[in-house]
């Protein structure tokens, strides 16, 4: 049997969640795990006409590997048109969380094997935010990032307890020149330097960024003063 592997990954930060409707479809574009609940659940629907195996995997990012998060049923059979609730459990830590943490979860639909038929494997890659007990929800955390020009480079620092997601490109004003961040997210306490072909001068006064909402949708661009 030939097996054609095709991956539909929601890797683009600003991609529409509606465009992911294929195979196993999660009911939301973000998994939020609240520390005080010690876990979370997400419903995943099999939109195909045949039963499939749903394989769920948590991806620990190298820059934010803890706390641990496990899937209680990493592989489960889901009948055609049915919805499976996937349960995630947060591993206990010695100390309460103080800041948000970031991971990814991959849902893969594995079709039944049939002789002489090509099967398509669909995967969907969603963000996971682990939210500490007692921390208020901030729907616009990008407004509290600190931006500055240092030694001709644009740097950004996240002194908040929130994970901030945004496009990697940023625009310097008034010149309109662009710089690029290494990642599409910045963790609490993290500092990043944007890369550019040329050094920037003190004539740059502002930076325009393109943030994403908590669920990964494009928000209005935001202009902030350079320090």
Mark whether 121 and 36 lie in a shared domain. yes
Determine the Cα–Cα distance for residues 163 and 131; give it in Å rounded to an integer: 10
Which of 89, 104, 131 is the C-terminal boundary of a domain? 131
CB atoms inside a 10 Å sphere around CB 25:
20
Tokens of 165: 């997601």
Determine the Cα–Cα distance for residues 176 and 207; give it in Å rounded to an integer: 9
Residue 12's φ and ψ, nearest 5 degrees, are -75, 120
The per-residue pLDDT for 187 is: 98
Mark whether 220 and 161 lie in a shared domain. yes
Tokens of 137: 């929800």
Range of the domain at 172: 141-225
Mark whether 17 and 123 lie in a shared domain. yes
* E strand or H helix that includes residue 171: strand 169-173
Q: How many domains does the chain have?
A: 2
Residue 136 lies in a domain: no
The per-residue pLDDT for 121 is: 74
Q: Which residues contact 37 (CB under 8 A, 6 or more apart)?
A: none
DSSP 8-state code for residue 160: S
Mark whether 190 and 89 lie in a shared domain. no
Tokens of 203: 């004539």
Mark whether 45 and 124 lie in a shared domain. yes
pTM of the model: 0.86
Instruction: List the beta bridge partners of residue 44.
Output: 26, 84
Which of 74, 107, 131 is the C-terminal boundary of a domain? 131
Determine the Cα–Cα distance for residues 174 and 219; give it in Å rounded to an integer: 22
Instruction: List the beta bridge partners of residue 124.
Output: 107
Determine the Cα–Cα distance for residues 66 and 35; give it in Å rounded to an integer: 13
The per-residue pLDDT for 117 is: 61
Determine the Cα–Cα distance for residues 145 and 143; give it in Å rounded to an integer: 6
pLDDT along the chain (227 residues), means of 10: 37 38 84 97 94 96 96 96 98 92 96 67 92 97 96 96 97 97 97 94 96 93 95
The per-residue pLDDT for 118 is: 58
Contact 156, 186 (CB under 8 A): yes
**CATH number, domain with residue 204:** 2.60.40.10
The closest of 136, 121, 132, 141 to 52, measured between CA atoms, is 121
Mark whether 18 and 43 lie in a shared domain. yes
């Amino acid at each position: 049997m030939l097996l054609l592997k095709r991956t539909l990954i929601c890797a683009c930060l600003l991609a529409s969640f509606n465009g992911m409707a294929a195979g196993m479809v999660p009911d939301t574009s973000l998994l939020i795990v609240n520390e005080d609940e010690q876990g979370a659940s997400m419903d995943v629907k099999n939109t195909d006409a045949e039963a499939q195996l749903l394989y769920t995997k948590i991806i620990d990012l190298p820059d934010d590997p803890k706390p641990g998060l496990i899937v209680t049923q990493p592989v489960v059979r889901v009948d055609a048109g049915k919805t499976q609730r996937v349960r995630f459990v947060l591993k206990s830590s010695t100390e309460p969380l103080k800041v948000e943490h970031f991971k990814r979860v991959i849902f893969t639909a594995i079709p039944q094997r049939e002789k002489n038929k090509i099967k398509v494997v669909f995967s969907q890659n969603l963000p996971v935010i682990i939210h500490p007990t007692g921390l208020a929800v901030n729907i616009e955390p990008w407004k509290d990032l600190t931006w500055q020009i240092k030694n001709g480079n644009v740097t950004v620092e996240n002194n908040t307890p929130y994970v901030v997601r945004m496009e990697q490109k940023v625009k310097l004003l008034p010149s309109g020149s662009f710089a690029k961040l290494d990642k599409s997210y910045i963790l609490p306490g993290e500092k990043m330097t944007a890369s550019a072909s040329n050094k920037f001068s003190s004539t740059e006064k502002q930076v325009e960024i393109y943030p994403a909402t908590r669920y990964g949708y494009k928000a209005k661009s935001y202009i902030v003063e350079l320090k």
